[in-house]
Structures are given as structure tokens and as C-alpha cells.
Amino acid sequence: MESTGGEEARPVQELARDQGAADGVPSRDVARAAGEVAVIDLGRLCKPGAGGGAADEAAKLRLALQCWGLFLVANHGIKASLMDAVMDASREFFRQPLHEKQKHSNMID
């Protein structure tokens, strides 16, 4: 792990375990959301012209990026089976021990 100002950075799972948090997340690291995460309709965003709602959707996207830094995407056309496979692969990867995940790191030593 990369060093941060004299201390070695530790995996979040290790930090949570050391804090004894029942759900794995220390209470000091939990904050209530200020609002709902924006859902961006990609179909509307990609429709040119005033009637398609692209300008409104673009404004919503801009605000989501400024306030949250993330957003949910709807009407993207990706099959549910592919989305499920990606989620399964992600879960499988993150359940691995740290030393296995580090084999795929792009960090420069």
C-alpha cells in the first residue's frame, strides 16, 4: 500500500475490523446523504432538439457531477444479464484476499 505522510495506507476492510464496527463501517465514516442521487435518462440526454429534453437532462447531469460526483444512469440499453454478470464479477474480485487484489493494482511502486 502507498504511504500517506509517514503512515502506511491500510485497506478499508482492515480499518473497519480494527474499529470493531458491527456492520464493518466505523460510525465516524458514515454521513447522511444530503439528497437523492440523480438518475440521468440517457435516452433523453441523447435526443437533440427542444422537445427531447436533452437540455434539461444535461443540466441535471451537470448538477449531479458538481454536487455528488456521481449519478445513476437509466435507459442505457445494456441488458440486465450483462449488468448482473458485471456485478457478480465485481463481488468476486472484492471478496478476494488483499494480496490477490493487489496483483491487479496499477499503482507504481
* Residues 94-106 pLDDT 10s: 999 989 998 988 8
The pairing of beta strand 39-41 with beta strand 72-74: parallel
Query: Would you say residue 97 lies in a domain?
Result: no
> Could you tell me the pTM of the whole model?
0.55
Give the count of domains, the chain. 1
pLDDT band at residue 14, thresholds of 50, 70 and 90? confident
Percent of the chain with pLDDT over 70: 75
Integer Cα distance of 8 and 66 in angstroms: 31
What mean pLDDT is predicted for residues 27-39? 75
Integer Cα distance of 39 and 48 in angstroms: 19
Percent of the chain with pLDDT over 90: 45
Domain that holds residue 53: 34-75
Query: Would you say residue 59 lies in a domain?
Result: yes
The DSSP H or E segment spanning 42 is helix 42-45
pLDDT score for 35: 75
Q: Is 45 helix (H, G, I), strand (E, B) or coil?
A: helix
What mean pLDDT is predicted for residues 56-81? 93
Query: Would you say residue 5 lies in a domain?
Result: no
Integer Cα distance of 11 and 97 in angstroms: 11
